[in-house]
A and B are shown apart, each in its own frame.
Chain A
Amino acid sequence: MNQTRRDVLRAGGGASLFALLAASGMLRPGAALAADWNQKAFEAKNVKDALDALGAGNPASSNDIVMIAPEIAENGAVVPIAATSKIPGTESITILIAKNPTALAASFDIPSGTEAAVSTRVKLAQTTDVHVLVKAQGKYYMTKKEVKVTIGGCGG
């Protein structure tokens, strides 16, 4: 078990508590997985390699994933992305950015009782497809949207 994993466990009240929660089923396997920072997935240079490293294979395209992202980002350094999954039993929501130096941006584990919806802000190196990957009941689904990154002008 690596250092970061232990930190997260401590935040949850210590290893013994973790074991207890795991045994009682309160911590689902998904949550435990997310606690591991998946180095291989984060180092993947493209979406396909990242999906492979995440074990997501070829996810089915889905209209039940709603992504709110700008058509054109005012500044690639801060691009708001909101992702909502309407797929029952959603366990995780993952954001991938096709043309960034590394594709995987973030992965969120959704425990039961938490809405399958997250908002964050990401960096886009250039105009690119942004993908949202959803894992629900063991299966993977994905949607994508192109975000243009503009340049030009002195700021402020």
Chain B
Amino acid sequence: MKTLQVSIFGAAALAIAFSAGAQDYRGQAINMMKQDFHAKGIAGIDRLNEDALQLVCNRSGNNPPKGVAERLQQDQFEAIKYPADGKFLGDWKAGEKIAQRGRGMTWKDKAGKTSRGEPNGGSCYNCHQIGAATTSFGTIGNSLLHFGKIRGYGADTQKYVYGKIYNAKAFNLCSNMPRFGHSGTLTETQIKDLVALLLDPNSPVNK
């Protein structure tokens, strides 16, 4: 995973914002994990290392000081790679499959694909209501049913949704949602397909 650099300003602010308590449970916890965990398959031991964003969210209980959050959010936003062709809408049918698939990126999976050789899934239904036909949806994320119908199908919305899936943290620093593009979980084509699932007027999500 890429690590984003914290600016000198950010690092200084962090040092002020979080002075260590009497006992360093955090340091103990990290040392313990580094001692106890081992790499397995594609899940390297480096996954235990926090990047700047994870560090800030961890140290602040997911509630960082405003200045730090804005600065880091901006870094995340600037690192989003939008499609070179300027098009955001893919195939909603392919998007539905990606949304349903919950596999990928664990130590049982392979680089860039699942243990069964399929492209990584987005696990979207695990947390979100999306299409009305699937009633077995999770509730960690908000409902996306009728997403386009409610929000409109415009180019700005398409770009926003693409960016949100690529890197949710560019919009809400300590969001629960993974950074699917940034982490290399989903490809540009896959993200476009998911955008279509939410924003193609013909997608069942908008029926």
- Residues of chain A touching chain B, judged by Cβ–Cβ distance below 8 Å, are 151-153
| A residues less than 8 Å from B7 (CB atoms) | none
CA distance A32 to B9 in the complex (A): 88
Nearest chain A CB to B133 CB, angstrom units: 14
CA distance A151 to B136 in the complex (A): 9
Instruction: Name which residue of chain B comes closest to A153, CB basis.
Output: B136
Nearest chain A CB to B105 CB, angstrom units: 15
| B residues less than 8 Å from A151 (CB atoms) | 136
Complex A-B, nearest 3 residue pairs according to Cβ-Cβ distance, in ascending order = A152-B136, A153-B136, A151-B136
Nearest chain B CB to A155 CB, angstrom units: 13
Nearest chain A CB to B138 CB, angstrom units: 9
Instruction: Name which residue of chain B comes closest to A152, CB basis.
Output: B136
CA distance A151 to B100 in the complex (A): 14
| B residues less than 8 Å from A153 (CB atoms) | 136
The contact string, 1 if C-beta is below 8 Å from chain A, for chain B 135-155, is 010000000000000000000
Nearest chain A CB to B150 CB, angstrom units: 27
Instruction: Name which residue of chain A comes closest to B138, CB basis.
Output: A153
CA distance A9 to B137 in the complex (A): 55
CA distance A153 to B136 in the complex (A): 8
Q: For chain B, residues 93 to 146, give those with C-beta under 8 angstroms from any C-beta of chain A.
A: 136
Nearest chain B CB to A117 CB, angstrom units: 36
CA distance A66 to B136 in the complex (A): 33
CA distance A18 to B136 in the complex (A): 57
CA distance A152 to B136 in the complex (A): 7
CA distance A151 to B135 in the complex (A): 11
3 A-B residue pairs with CB within 8 Å: A151-B136, A152-B136, A153-B136
Instruction: Name which residue of chain B comes closest to A151, CB basis.
Output: B136
Nearest chain B CB to A148 CB, angstrom units: 14
| A residues less than 8 Å from B136 (CB atoms) | 151-153
Nearest chain B CB to A151 CB, angstrom units: 8
